Amino acid sequence: PSRNVRILATDMSAAALAIAQRAAYSTQKVQKIPQAFLDKYFTYRDELYYAVDTVKQPITFRQFNLINLSASSVPIYDLIFCRNVLIYFDYAAQFTLLRGILHQLRPRGFLCLGDAESVHTFPDISKMLELHETHDALIYQKRGEPS
């Protein structure tokens, strides 16, 4: 079945975005990816694995500082990865950032945080989420009915 998948990849660093857009990975970086996926979604040349165009095509790269996240628009994301980002902010900034992220996340959408991050210290935010435990990440699902 055909799916309308669009991915917005953001970072405040132009250098980090340039690396991400290149989509080239060392053997060490892809070692946990099953060989069948490597064969299907990557090409190997010059000792690097490159993501194929069908993987890269739905991705838009944008330089963006999460502190500027506006809570004024309607929820538009089904899935948000914000792994190992909150750890760089103080408590107040974490709260503001999480509130903005949740405003952007559709009901029943998923928020993926790093294993060192949690929402449990924010009671108002944690009430809005259901935790799904994994071995190396925290995945939260926003409560509510999908729109």
| Helices and strands, counts by H and E, the chain | 5, 9
Q: What is the average pLDDT value for the chain, to the nearest integer?
A: 90
pTM of this structure: 0.82
Q: So what's the pLDDT on residue 118?
A: 85
d(CA 7, CA 58): 6
Q: What is the mean pLDDT of residues 110-117?
A: 89
State pLDDT tens for residues 16-31.
999 999 999 999 999 9
Least confident range from 59-63, 72-76, 108-112, 125-129: namely: 72-76
